[in-house]
Amino acid sequence: MLVATAALGLVAPIAAQASDAINLDGINDYSSSKKTANRIDSQTFISETNEDIAILKGRVDGLEAQQNNFDAGAFSSTTTMDGKAIMWIGSVDGANEVSSAQTETVQTGYTYTMNLNTSFTGDDNLYVRLKSGAQGAVWHDSKPFYHIETKSTSDAFKVDKMWYTFPIGESITAIVGPRIENYYMYVTPSIYSPGALKSFKLGGNSNFGASTDVGVGLKWETESGFAIATNIVDKNADSTGLMGKNSVSKWDTQIAYTQPRYHASVTLSNAQNWTSQSYNATKLAAAMKGSDGDTTGYAFRGYWRPLETGTATPEISVGYDIKSADTPATAAAKEASSYMVGLTWRDMFQSDDRIGLAVTQPLKVTEMQGGGATGEVDPFVWEAYYSFKPNDSMEVKPAIFGGTDVYEDSGDDIFGAVVTTTFKF
């Protein structure tokens, strides 16, 4: 009885709402009126249909016009864009000993990059990199604690790189651009990816000192793995002309042999008034040049990778550099050398992770013109890191690094820690 009473209580208001919402008498009247309505024939909807079609056509034309306007301002169908945001935080113990302008405080840094690639023929490519960045002063110092991702633009977003590549025949690639560095026109000389320090870039960043400016190069690569690359970058090309009398330039020529699991190369660098050698060099070696401002360098590089990843056998990258001053002044630095060894273990704990360990002797003077003691320090720098990916678009890389006598005297000892996070899109 209780259930029946409750059910009736629910049905009653629903029935009342239905009678209010549905006008049964109205439906009956409508049904009756239809019995006397005119019959529908082929002419019934003609006028309304033509009018609706005209309206619809106008709307479609409007959408097409808007689409055309959008296409006019959109990227070319052959343009692709990708980018990344990188942030890091850390500190360097002993930075104030190496440079009086530095402190041991915790400092941060960031870069934001957009890469644009456009092809016009299917075989060529116009590359433009837009970049913004700022960081604490310690990460922008050209001493051995210079961070691998450092870029200082004072937060301005600007063109950072620009060059055009196109084929000449089947085996030769030409590269030319107003914003490029020599090593972008090489065959890749090293597979060690630095965890913190720019010192370890390209198998030891000594003779490969970087400077972005006007450049041109040719690269000949064969199917057998043999390759020759030659290129020049001139810092004063915008003002005094390419290879002018007062040129500040570096002409590099690389001979390389590369297979899927190994590589060997030697690169000859002829530098004229060039001063960008300080990323992996002592104070004395960084300033070394002949009385005419010229130097000659040889960079030997090689790498080897195991057949499988995830084992105790690492990838190995090695580098050895020799630099000499052309016509050195009396009692001035005549020759210098450096080396680097980098080890990488991939896929050790999870897919796409890396363990990296590298050591380098920064470029140091080994001989003075006319003989005599160099007064040089015995520098040594190392780094170790672990890189892992929480997802396909994010990488986290904690690292530690250090060194002894890294720049000018025996008191220049450092130890640092930094965490770098990369977001790719």
Q: Is residue 175 within 8 Å of 219, Cβ to Cβ?
A: yes
The amino acid at 212: T
Q: Cα(388)–Cα(379) distance, rounded to whole angstroms? A: 31
Catalogue the long-range contacts made by 292-295 (C-beta closer than 8 Å, 24 or more residues apart).
Answer: 292/326, 292/327, 294/270, 294/325, 294/326, 294/327, 295/269, 295/271, 295/323, 295/324, 295/325, 295/326
Q: End-to-end alpha-carbon separation of the chain, Å? A: 67
User: Please, are residues 205 and 198 in contact by the beta-carbon 8 Å criterion?
Assistant: yes
Give residues with Cβ within 8 angstroms of 327, minimum separation 6. Answer: 290, 291, 292, 294
Tens of pLDDT, residue by residue, the chain (425 residues): 333 343 334 334 434 444 343 343 443 443 444 444 444 454 544 445 556 665 666 665 665 555 554 454 456 678 999 999 999 999 999 999 999 899 999 999 999 999 999 999 999 999 999 999 999 999 999 889 999 999 999 999 999 999 999 999 999 999 999 999 999 999 999 999 999 999 999 999 887 767 899 999 999 999 999 999 999 999 888 777 777 667 889 999 999 999 999 999 999 999 988 876 678 999 999 888 887 789 999 999 999 999 999 999 999 999 999 999 988 877 889 999 999 999 999 999 999 999 999 999 999 999 999 888 999 999 999 999 999 999 999 999 999 999 999 999 988 999 999 999 999 99
φ, ψ for residue 97, nearest 5 deg? -80, -35
Q: Can you give the pTM of this predicted structure? A: 0.81
**283 closest CA partner among 211, 208, 201, 375:** 375
**Amino acid at residue number 133:** G
Single out the residue of 193, 245, 251, 169 nearest to residue 217, CA to CA: 251
Report the b/e string of 185-213 with b at 16+ CB within 10 A: bbbebbbbbbbbbbbbbbbbbbbbbbbbb
How do beta strands 125-135 and 249-259 pair? unpaired
Name which of 399, 307, 389 is nearest 90 in CA terms. Answer: 399
Paired residues of 256 in beta bridges? 227, 265
Put residue 155 in one of left, alpha, beta given phi > 0 → left and psi -120 to 50 → alpha.
Answer: left
User: What residues have CB less than 8 Å from 79, skipping those under 6 apart?
Assistant: 116, 117, 118
What's the pLDDT score for residue 6? 39
**Burial (CB count within 10 angstroms: exposed 0-12, middle 13-18, buried 19+), residue 320:** buried
Tokens of residue 309, six digits: 């990843």
Q: What is the CATH number of domain 80-424?
A: 2.40.160.10
